[in-house]
Amino acid sequence: MTTELLFRTDAYLKTASAQVVAVDERSIELDRTIFYPTGGGQAGDTGVLLRGNGERIAVVDTRKGEAIDSVLHIAAAATPQPEPGETLTLNIDWQRRYALMRLHTALHVLSCVIVAPVTGGNISPDKARLDFDIDMRLLDAERIERETNALIARGVETETVWITDEELDARPELVKTMSVQPPRGAGRVRLLRIPGIDLQPCGGTHVRNIAEIGGIRVLKIRSEGKRNKRVEIALAS
């Protein structure tokens, strides 16, 4: 079942209504959603689905289903189950999601300060990290923090751009993340552009203006193996 991914066109939607299309023991599928499913290193959304009778279904996680663009809303144990066809009001935990959006966008900026192949990454609500294939001696926390924050201070608007699979194949330099290849097969690939700073394939949720990140702190730099030098960051405030 394909779900219309409302967060792709507007990452700032905090509420929406949708119809239930399938229900099993723990997961609920809807015809449209504002809940981002875990992917591209970004944690899935949490929140609440409200029934017409006022009952609240707590969503503790959101994951991708087996079909392309299918989304499973994982309900807390022992919550009421909705009926297929029922209309629900969707509310995401916006504070948590906004932190994820700020940190996610910060990683795009960070990946332009540390110029090396990206071998991994993860974004949780309180911290985010990228792993690089780089010599440890080239990673200086103070410099990384200063240069990343200087780029954030430019306050540029982010843009979503779509290109065809063929256009992406012709520009392999756009793909910095060795471990996560952009999804293909749909004929087109979504890119995030931060004008003058970054352009890369990404299906995640981002802030409209990088000034919303505010600034970052480097929490930790450590080696996680020969090709994985990990840089962990948090929002400055």
The token duo for 68 is 């392309």
Q: Residue 192: beta bridge partners? A: 160, 200
In the complex with Zn ion, which residue's Cβ is closer, 47 or 201? 201
In the complex with Zn ion, which residue's Cβ is closer, 128 or 134? 128
Closest distance between Zn ion and the C-beta of residue 202, in Å?
A: 3
Closest distance between Zn ion and the C-beta of residue 203, in Å?
A: 7
Closest distance between Zn ion and the C-beta of residue 54, in Å?
A: 36
Q: Which residues inside 168-197 make contact with Zn ion, applying CB under 5 A?
A: 192
Closest distance between Zn ion and the C-beta of residue 21, in Å?
A: 28
- As a whole number of angstroms, the distance between CA 11 and CA 180 comes to 21
- As a whole number of angstroms, the distance between CA 117 and CA 134 comes to 8
Residue nearest to Zn ion (CB): 202
In the complex with Zn ion, which residue's Cβ is closer, 192 or 207? 192
- As a whole number of angstroms, the distance between CA 121 and CA 200 comes to 14
The token duo for 103 is 């940190």
In the complex with Zn ion, which residue's Cβ is closer, 33 or 205? 205
In the complex with Zn ion, which residue's Cβ is closer, 82 or 182? 182
Closest distance between Zn ion and the C-beta of residue 32, in Å?
A: 22
Closest distance between Zn ion and the C-beta of residue 225, in Å?
A: 24
The pairs formed by 16-21 with CB atoms below 8 angstroms and a separation of 24 or more are 16/89, 16/90, 17/87, 17/88, 17/89, 17/90, 18/87, 18/88, 18/90, 19/85, 19/86, 19/87, 19/88, 20/82, 20/83, 20/84, 20/85, 20/86, 20/87, 20/88, 21/84
In the complex with Zn ion, which residue's Cβ is closer, 82 or 121? 121
Q: Does 41 bind Zn ion (CB under 5 A)?
A: no
The SS3 call for residue 9 is helix
| Contact pattern for Zn ion over residues 133 through 172, marking x by CB under 5 A | ----------------------------------------
Q: Which residues inside 198-227 make contact with Zn ion, applying CB under 5 A?
A: 202, 204
- As a whole number of angstroms, the distance between CA 134 and CA 105 comes to 22
Closest distance between Zn ion and the C-beta of residue 140, in Å?
A: 25
In the complex with Zn ion, which residue's Cβ is closer, 28 or 105? 105
The one-letter amino acid code at 69 reads: D
The token duo for 143 is 């410099």
Interacting residues with Zn ion (CB under 5 A): 192, 202, 204
